[in-house]
């Protein structure tokens, strides 16, 4: 592969054919068909049929993998990256180097066995296509050395705009460690919704498998066993423990050995136990950071930190600077990237009334419906649920109000909101590409308004909810550049 | 209801007056769809079904009528009074909405693309919309229903100026 010139088309490693054969990567689409055939033919043939099926599927998989490998090539030229593929309809995608926002090198477990990596070249465009996976070039199955060469080549071409000879790589600058994951932090995982969802998803998949087998193979558990309250309680306890352990294991799989280092102008995050991920973020493109913490995480002073990077696809995962950790660590990282504008200003009392009203409203509706139902039908269950909802609404409303805050500093500003998941966003002044002020009928009567800083990074907009209507012009002027004065300056 | 001042100032320029005609047409079309649905309900579901049906037989036509009055008689005029836009030396500024109001300000230096679109109805009324896109999914400015020549002139002017003052900090 080294004999090819820098502009010549390159191929992925032939080993990838083997890997994709094993995993049925391309052949997966035929699986329903094969199952259908198997179902009609039946298993009456015994071993012969099974062997024939296995051989057939493997050959099919080998052929598809071979064709994919044969028709796939990529070129990292001085001005763009081109990926060509497809058997009948050839597709050739060209991504100019100046649109490439980042390169990710990942090594799933099987890839590591073969010494291969998968390179994702992220070329997210403007705001509208953020979720679009087509904005990504995937080169699957190159050697580790070639993967690193591709990453460095693409990133150097982009920053200098000039062709760089393959072998003349600049020596890698010294690394500065920003953060290192402490395995004790994995214990926070059961308090984070997304990690709790991991074992649930696994359980769901397992259930589907068991559901297929149930009639023939599973022992008969139902019956007297499930009616005994003690065994039911035991079952629930076991499920709970499994859930907790599963979330910790899930978090460990994803975040094992997390390390964040600065190398030259980039932040590099490496993590993962089975799949090693290597994400590179350009410091120049960082516009802000968020520190988020759910209800449970706040109880134990834990938080997570994300960087807001312009034009980064899949920002929630790739922008992670600290997937899980103590709040102090999360803040230390965030402050290292963005200047902290100082303590937050609380929002006016009208905002508290509005938060409370909104939190209590569903409970009140249910209570009224319950009153009607009780009077009309004697159906009292709703009447019990209503006041309970109202009672829960009080802490929710007060908590939501307590979360609200904003602050402006000389070079940055901050907004905070959310109760179940609280998000504190620190943003640079230059990050703002627009202001959106929204006022509903109710906000108009309460003298409030919500102002959203439109940012070309992260989720796209960060809101200061229920600001006093009179404070908006001052806040926007202090949090962005001179053009924001248009909001208050009389028409010329 | 106390008349509190708006949170930020209003943009100066109104939309084209033809926009009222377009909104009325939209209201008429919406009313036709809803009226048709209500008529089908009255014809297909007999009152003898019981339950809430007898109430619904009165409620649905009433709601359709109320929608017609609002969408044809009220909303176009309220919208026309609310909607305003402005292009200043530094920014594009709009105010839209009729119950919930939204002010949107985007500096010309952060504009990425400018689009002019003409829908089918808009063509009937000689109108066009200008959309200004930025790097943020939340920061897209729509200036609806301008006269075609105005829209084209504004779009050209904005694209030209954005080219000149664009800074790298998207």
Cross-chain CB nearest to B133 (options A126, A445, A457): A126
Binned average pLDDT, 10 residues per bin, chain A of 492 residues: 53 86 72 68 65 81 87 84 78 75 82 87 54 66 88 72 42 76 89 81 75 58 64 87 88 89 87 85 89 91 91 76 92 92 92 94 90 82 86 93 94 93 93 93 92 89 92 91 80 48
Q: How far is B10 from chain A (nearest CA, A)?
A: 8
Rounded Cα distance between A249 and A224, Å, is 34
Best mutation site among B1, B3, B7 for testing chain A: the one with the most A CBs within 10 Å?
B7
A169 to chain B, closest Cα gap in Å: 27
Portion of chain B with pLDDT greater than 70, in percent: 95
Of A305, A310, A308, A301, the residue nearest A333 (C-alpha): A305
Distance CA A91, CA B160 (A): 34
Distance CA A463, CA A374 (A): 42
CB atoms within 10 A of CB A35: 11
Asked whether B112 and B170 are in contact (CB, 8 A), the reply is yes
Q: Residue B107: its pLDDT value, please?
A: 92
**What integer pLDDT is reported at residue A356 of this predicted model?**
94
Residue A440: closest C-alpha in chain B: B100
What is the predicted pLDDT for the residue at A164? 39
Is residue B50 pLDDT above 80, yes or no? no
Q: How far apart are CA A476 and CA A464, in angstroms?
A: 10
Residue A435: other Cβ atoms inside 10 A: 29
Is B102 in contact with A483 (Cβ distance < 8 A)?
no
The pLDDT tens digits for A167-203 are: 444 455 678 888 888 889 988 888 887 788 878 877 7
- The domain defined by B84-165 folds into PH-domain like (2.30.29)
Whether A125 contacts A182, CB under 8 Å: no
Q: Which H or E run includes B155?
A: helix B148-165
Q: Is B46 a residue whose pLDDT tops 60? A: yes
**A481 and B107 in contact by Cβ < 8 A?**
yes
Measure the CA–CA gap between A236 and A150, rounded to whole angstroms: 51
Average pLDDT over residues B21-47: 91
Phi-psi region of A272 (alpha: psi -120 to 50; beta: other; left: phi over 0): left
- pLDDT of res. A301: 92
Are residues A220 and A263 in contact, defined by beta-carbon separation less than 8 angstroms?
A: no
- Evaluate whether B86 touches B78 at the Cβ level (below 8 Å): no
**What is the radius of gyration, based on Cα positions, of chain A?**
28
- Under a CB-based contact definition with an 8 Å cutoff, are residues B116 and B128 in contact? yes
Collect all residues of chain A within an 8 Å Cβ-Cβ radius of residue B4. Answer: 444-445, 447, 469
Write out pLDDT tens, residues B73-112. 999 999 999 999 999 988 999 999 888 999 999 999 888 8
Report CA Rg, chain B. Answer: 21
Residues in B 66-105 with any Cβ partner in A closer than 8 A: 86, 88, 90-91, 93, 99-105
What residue in A sits closest to B103 (Cα-Cα)?
A437
- When CB atoms are compared, the residue of B7, B9, B138 closest to A461 is B138
Q: Which residues of B touch A492 (CB under 8 A)?
A: 88
Q: Is the pTM of this model over 0.90?
A: no
For residue A1, give the nearest of A89, A74, A90, A63 by alpha carbon.
A74
Rounded to the nearest angstrom, the minimum Cα separation between B32 and chain A is: 28
Query: Which chain A positions have a beta carbon within 8 Å of B99's beta carbon?
Result: 440-441
Residues in B closer than 8 angstroms to A460, CB to CB, are 136-139
ipTM value for the complex: 0.88
Name residues 133-152 of chain B within 8 A of A (Cβ): 133-141
DSSP designation for A307: E
SS3 letters across A420-489: CEEEEEEEEHHHEEEEEEEECHHHHHHCEEEEEEEECECCCEEEEEEEEHHHHHHHHHHHCCHHHHHHCC
């Amino acid at each position: 592969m080294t004999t090819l010139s820098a502009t010549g088309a390159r191929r992925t490693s032939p080993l990838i054919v083997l890997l994709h054969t094993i995993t049925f990567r391309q052949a997966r689409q035929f699986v329903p068909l094969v199952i259908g055939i198997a179902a009609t033919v039946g298993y009456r043939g015994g071993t012969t049929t099974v062997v024939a099926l296995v051989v057939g599927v493997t050959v099919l998989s080998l052929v598809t993998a071979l064709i994919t490998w044969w028709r796939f090539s990529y070129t990292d030229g001085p001005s763009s990256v081109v990926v060509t593929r497809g058997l009948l309809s050839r597709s050739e995608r060209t991504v100019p180097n100046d649109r490439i926002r980042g390169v990710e090198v990942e090594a799933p477990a099987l890839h590591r066995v073969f010494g291969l990596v998968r390179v994702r070249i992220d070329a997210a465009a403007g705001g509208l296509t953020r979720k679009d996976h087509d904005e990504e070039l995937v080169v699957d199955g190159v050697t580790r050395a070639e993967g690193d060469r591709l990453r460095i080549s693409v990133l150097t071409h982009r920053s200098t705009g000039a062709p760089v000879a393959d072998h003349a790589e600049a020596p890698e600058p010294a690394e500065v460690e920003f953060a290192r994951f402490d395995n004790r932090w994995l214990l926070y995982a059961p308090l984070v919704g997304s990690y709790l969802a991991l074992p649930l998803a696994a359980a769901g998949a397992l259930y589907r498998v068991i559901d297929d087998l149930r009639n023939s193979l599973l022992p008969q558990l139902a019956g007297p066993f499930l009616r005994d309250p003690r065994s039911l309680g035991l079952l629930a306890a076991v499920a709970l423990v499994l859930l907790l352990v599963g979330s910790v294991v899930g978090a460990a799989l994803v975040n094992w050995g997390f390390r964040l280092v600065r190398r030259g102008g980039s932040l590099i995050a490496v993590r993962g136990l089975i799949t090693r991920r290597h994400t590179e973020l350009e410091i120049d493109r960082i516009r802000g950071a968020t520190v988020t913490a759910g209800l449970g995480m706040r109880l134990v002073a834990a938080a997570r930190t994300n960087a807001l990077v312009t034009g980064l696809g899949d920002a929630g995962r790739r922008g992670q600077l600290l997937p899980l950790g103590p709040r102090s660590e999360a803040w230390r990282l965030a402050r290292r990237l963005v200047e902290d504008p100082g303590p937050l200003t609380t929002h006016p009392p009208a905002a508290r009334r509005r938060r409370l009203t909104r939190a209590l409203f569903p409970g009140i509706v249910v209570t009224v419906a319950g009153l009607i139902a009780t009077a009309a039908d004697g159906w009292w269950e709703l009447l019990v649920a209503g006041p309970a909802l109202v009672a829960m609404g009080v802490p929710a409303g007060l908590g939501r109000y307590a979360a609200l805050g904003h602050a402006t500093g000389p070079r940055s500003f901050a907004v905070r909101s959310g109760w179940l998941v609280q998000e504190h966003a620190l943003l640079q002044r230059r990050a703002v590409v627009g202001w959106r002020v929204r006022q509903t009928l109710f906000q108009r009567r309460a003298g409030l308004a919500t102002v959203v800083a439109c940012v070309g990074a992260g989720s796209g907009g960060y809101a200061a909810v229920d600001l006093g209507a009179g404070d908006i012009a001052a806040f926007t002027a202090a949090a962005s550049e001179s053009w924001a004065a248009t909001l208050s300056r009389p028409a010329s | 209801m106390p008349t509190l001042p708006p949170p930020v100032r209003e943009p100066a320029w109104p939309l084209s007056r033809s926009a009222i005609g377009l909104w009325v047409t939209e209201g008429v079309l919406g009313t036709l769809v809803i009226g048709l649905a209500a008529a089908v309900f009255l014809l297909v579901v007999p009152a003898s079904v019981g339950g809430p049906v007898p109430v619904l037989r009165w409620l649905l036509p009433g709601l359709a009528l109320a929608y017609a009055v609002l969408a044809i008689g009220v909303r176009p005029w309220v919208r026309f009074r609310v909607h305003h836009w402005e292009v200043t030396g530094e920014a594009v500024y709009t105010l839209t909405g009729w119950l919930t109001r939204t002010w949107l300000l985007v500096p010309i230096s952060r504009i990425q693309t400018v689009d002019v679109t003409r829908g089918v109805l808009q063509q009937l009324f000689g109108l066009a919309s200008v959309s200004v896109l930025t790097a943020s999914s939340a920061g897209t400015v729509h200036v609806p229903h301008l006269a075609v020549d105005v829209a084209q002139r504004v779009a050209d002017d904005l694209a030209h100026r954005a080219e000149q003052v664009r800074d790298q900090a998207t």
